[in-house]
Amino acid sequence: MFTTRNGRPIEPRNINRAFDIRCGRAGVRRITIHDTRRTCGSLLAALDVHPRVAMAILRHSRIALTMEIYTQVPDKTTRDALRRLSDWLGQGDDEPGPRGADEDQEDGTSGQPGPRDSS
Residue numbers of the domain that contains 25: 1-30
Instruction: Report yes or no: 39 and 70 within 8 Å, Cβ to Cβ.
Output: no
Q: What pLDDT sits at residue 1? A: 65
pTM passes above 0.75: no
* Structural domains counted in the chain: 2
Q: What pLDDT sits at residue 112? A: 43
**pLDDT exceeds cutoff 90 at 56:** yes
Distant-in-sequence, close-in-space partners of 55: CB < 8 Å, separation ≥ 6? 62, 63, 65, 66
Q: How many other CB atoms sit within 10 Å of the CB of residue 80? A: 11
CA–CA gap between residue 95 and residue 81 (Å, rounded): 20
**pLDDT exceeds cutoff 80 at 6:** yes
Please state which of the ranges 1-5, 9-13, 115-119 shows the lowest mean pLDDT: 115-119
Q: What is the mean pLDDT of the chain?
A: 75
Beta strands, E only, 2-87 = none
- 44 lies in the same domain as 74: yes
- 41 lies in the same domain as 65: yes
Confidence of residue 53 (pLDDT cuts 50, 70, 90): very high
